[in-house]
Chains A and B, each alone.
Chain A
């Protein structure tokens, strides 16, 4: 197709016409304001919670983190059992969810045919959409009795001498919390890992295949190392979800401030104690101590999230060269 003579001039004239620019500052102002609101919200939230927990911090001191006595009547507020409960349940759930979730991601990206990967992926995403309280109901009415009869009792009878399986198997407790949390953390880990794996360039897979790698070897040497920090990021996002999860855990963990290695023991988490006791916190100190737990929880989840984003970002944008090294 030939260009009409004089057309370049026409286009240049059209392009050089003056466009009014007053929309620019308005647009910029609006989006700036929107982002500022978010920043202000977060900062405000942290500030208020921090400020409100000052009474607790002053009264409880370091024993808040190190002691295991939670006795509102005598004004003793020591949060170690809750911290322990959160770390124990969320940590164990994370390990399980990583094993399953990364497996699911590998299957979806590298093994499953497209017609299968789509619906399965959607279903995994849907797991994340089920309300927490529904998991809790299921956990307490279905999972806990089942666990007691078919997992806990047999384990107790055979391996009861191990600290993990000691105590009374009643269904409600750490194990139920771990299982429910695993299911709730799984979609986060699986979906983020899937996206991270899908972002690994084909050329990495071909590099391995051309060396005579089998499918699994290709994933092992070409795909997983490349996606490493992104998968770690997926795990950390999952951990953040597990640490903050409240409703379902509160319903199945038993809510007893006990520090125990046993999966059958009842436990308590930071989120659960807040949910359970906020309405009873009548004294200023009690209230402030609960807020202190809230502050701790907030800090931990924010930190976990920040680290996760950083790691995922590095895989997605730092790709092939120098930045992916660590």
Chain B
């Protein structure tokens, strides 16, 4: 993959297309077909409102995360990025008092329709959290296959294969192959985060959500995770939250920019191809934000 030395260009506006990773230069259709291993599904968000108790934190968000693409969600702290991404796999409602209105459609059908089991939705839509949260007492191996074991899969050979493949894809295999039996809590923060990614992809979800997956990581681990996202695109639909504008421009195909409105709720300012958002945004707010002129 394109090796990018992190933190190189700090002046932000207008990231030139050729500064993006290789594949980004290609027209979308070509890029997708070049690397497509597995057709993924799209996630449509329609007029989504989210609440904590009576407090509305997201207002009327509508966009579509394209299949086999990385969609980045950017915006200032507290604008509801984490809330939005948690609405996409029905994790928002886990918080007591939290509530969602509006639509989220996975492959055309609503995940909030009555009778839909959130457990099934969360199997189909994997999630990686901002802070690494491996099961600290479980072995590295058991961490990776935890989702499979939950589903009742006991076939040792299959579990072995999946564990190795997932760890390889998460760029962690070489570091842990000799200590698969040691506990997941005994890894470094960056390794733990890659372990969590391996755990999420081991169950072959159709969509992967990542909430600032690299925010606690050093540049090298960050780079590994960015490379991983790039390769995951071939099989999955990916939505990431990031605070790092360069990261958004490097890894994503589409970008959603949220900000906080006058009513204190976050709303979607602009949604477009990443190249457009970063070179030629339609909204003044977007331009100010990505060029660092935002409050």
Contacts and interface: CB of A to CB of B under 8 A. Distances in A.
Interface of A: 114, 201, 203-214, 217, 221-222, 225-226, 228, 320-322, 324-325
Interface in B91-140: 91, 94, 96, 119-120, 122-123, 126-127, 129, 131, 133-138
B119 A214 contact: yes
A207 B186 contact: no
Contact of B150 (A206, A213, A324): A213
Contacts of B203: 211-212
A228 B96 CA distance: 25
Interface of B: 89, 91, 94, 96, 119-120, 122-123, 126-127, 129, 131, 133-138, 146-147, 150-151, 183, 185-186, 196, 199-200, 203
B185 A213 contact: no
Contact of A321 (B94, B136, B150): B136
A114 B147 contact: no
A206 B120 contact: no
Contact of B186 (A205, A214, A322): A322
Contacts of B200: 210-211
A325 B126 contact: no
* Chief secondary structure at chain B's binding surface: mixed
B236 to A, nearest CB: 15
A322 B183 CA distance: 9
Given A321-B186, A322-B186, A325-B183, A207 B135 contact: yes
A225 B143 CA distance: 12
Contacts of B133: 201, 203-204, 206-207
A114 B150 CA distance: 28
Nearest to B121: A212
Contacts of B123: 211-212
A198 to B, nearest CB: 14
A209 B122 contact: yes
Given A207-B129, A210-B129, A217-B150, A324 B122 contact: no
A203 B131 contact: yes
A212 B119 contact: yes
Nearest to A321: B185
Contacts of A222: 135
27 contacts: A201-B133, A203-B129, A204-B133, A206-B94, A207-B133, A207-B135, A208-B135, A208-B146, A209-B94, A209-B122, A210-B89, A210-B91, A210-B126, A210-B127, A210-B129, A211-B199, A212-B147, A212-B151, A213-B150, A214-B119, A221-B138, A221-B146, A222-B135, A225-B137, A322-B185, A325-B137, A325-B185
B147 A207 contact: no
A212 B91 contact: no
* Chief secondary structure at chain A's binding surface: helix
Given A207-B129, A212-B119, A228 B135 contact: no
Nearest to B138: A225
Contacts of A226: 135-137
Identify the interface centre among A207, A214, A221, A226: most chain B CB within 10 Å of its CB: A207
B289 to A, nearest CB: 25
B120 A212 contact: yes
Nearest to A220: B150
Contacts of A204: 133, 135
Contacts of B129: 203, 206-207, 210
A86 to B, nearest CB: 33
A211 B120 contact: no
Contacts of A225: 135, 137-138
Contacts of A213: 119, 150
A103 B113 CA distance: 33
Contacts of A217: 150
Given A206-B94, A207-B135, A210-B127, 6 more contacts: A203-B129, A207-B196, A208-B135, A210-B122, A211-B147, A212-B122
Contacts of B91: 206, 209-210
A211 B89 CA distance: 10
B147 A324 contact: no
A228 B200 CA distance: 24
Contacts of B135: 204, 207-208, 221-222, 225-226
Contacts of B147: 211-212
A324 B150 CA distance: 23
A168 to B, nearest CB: 48
A222 B196 CA distance: 14
A213 B150 CA distance: 7
Contact of A228 (B127, B137, B151): B137
Contacts of A203: 129, 131, 133
B137 A324 contact: yes
Given A211-B146, A212-B147, A212-B203, A324 B136 contact: yes
